[in-house]
Amino acid sequence: MTTLLARSRVAVVRSATLGFVLVTLLSCANSSQPRVLPGGHSANQGFIAQYDEARIRAIREVPVAILAVGGELVVVRQGQIMERVNAIPPTYTALKEVSHVLLALWIAAWNTSSEDAENQTALYAPHLTAVEKGLADSVIPASDRPRQRRLLAAAQELIREAALGQGISKPALTQWARRVAPDILENVTEAARAQLELINAEMTRILMSMKPDEKSTFFVVVGSVHQARKRNILMQYFEALLGPGALENDRRVIYGESIQDTRGALDLLGTHILDRAIAIDFFASPIRMQRDLLGDAAESILPTLTLPNVSQ
């Protein structure tokens, strides 16, 4: 953790230095162009460097944080990584991989020519064969294996259909997808169950090492992709653990869209702490920086504009 923060500091200094050099070079190259505000750009670069430095201080002031990112739960104390634990159980991975076989074949046949559908499904066929052979030795519970066999059999059907060279019509492909969807969703349910049980066991253990005041104040950063933002499984878990108020205005649980690693999650945590301090001191509202600072002004200005007609 110390290394990460040290790298952040070096990156900030290098970025600021490079910024000042580029400003100097650009000002020489564009000296004939009108200046927006002499010295303003350099001052703003200085602000960015100061902000990044303060964000590092903010991270160090957080007693305990849990970063749920990159398939791990990372325990951070005052800016130092204390522990990393796996948050993706093997059963989750195996069920996901079977389900992805079906999705891969749907993609191979979707919105393409009959020739391409035949070629692409045939190219994928060896992966399907390997999964079929590996099922018996997998971590998937015996009670869940008949469902996997049904899914893999449906995948073979689609390959055979594509091999006829007549193409797969959109209605036929949709019908196939709807037929396998219930079993895929059952895989999703069991994968979610396995993940939540693992995370709950690890959080039970982690909480045992916390002091009472740390249990009532620790932050959580959940990093994931844009499409998984709504009803994200980890956000739901921590809402159940800490209560709905923890998610309200990111009070204790923060969603990091498109954040996939510890460094990004730490940066977001530091931004959250620093922006709250700015919002309180400048605007007497801890959540003022959690919406576009220009938003209130835009709400009053937009009705005064003559907007272009987009209906013609």
pLDDT tens digits, one per residue of 137-195: 999 999 999 999 999 999 999 999 999 988 899 999 999 999 999 999 999 999 999 99
Tell me how crowded residue 251 is: count the other CB atoms within 10 A of its CB. 17
Please name every residue paired with 255 in a beta bridge, in sequence order, or none if there are none.
222
pLDDT in tens, 91-100: 999 999 999 9
> What's the rounded mean pLDDT across residues 281-294?
88
Structure tokens at 171: 């209605």
How far, rounded to the nearest angstrom, does the alpha carbon of residue 97 sit from its chain's CA centroid?
A: 19
> What's the rounded mean pLDDT across residues 244-266?
88
Structure tokens at 250: 């990111």
The beta-strand segments (E) located in 142-283 are: 219-224, 253-257
CB 156 within 8 A of CB 128: yes
Three-state SS at 176: helix
Cα torsion through 142, 88, 82, 223, rounded to 10 = -160
The average confidence (pLDDT) of the chain is: 88
pTM of the model: 0.81
Closest of 91, 92, 101, 96 to residue 151, by C-alpha: 101
| Total count of residues recorded for the chain | 312
pLDDT at 104 over 80: yes
68: left (phi over 0), alpha (psi -120 to 50) or beta: beta
Structure tokens at 134: 């590996």
Residues 135 and 141: their CA atoms lie apart, in Å, by 10
pLDDT at 61 over 50: yes
pLDDT in tens, 237-249: 999 999 988 888 7
Residues 92 and 233: their CA atoms lie apart, in Å, by 13
Please name every residue paired with 65 in a beta bridge, in sequence order, or none if there are none.
76, 219
Question: What DSSP state is assigned to residue 221?
Answer: E
Tell me how crowded residue 26 is: count the other CB atoms within 10 A of its CB. 12
Structure tokens at 130: 């390997």
The upper half-sphere exposure of residue 17, i.e. CA atoms within 13 Å in the direction of its Cβ, equals 6
> What's the rounded mean pLDDT across residues 255-275?
92
* Residue pointed to by tokens 């009070």: 251
* Residue pointed to by tokens 């499984």: 233
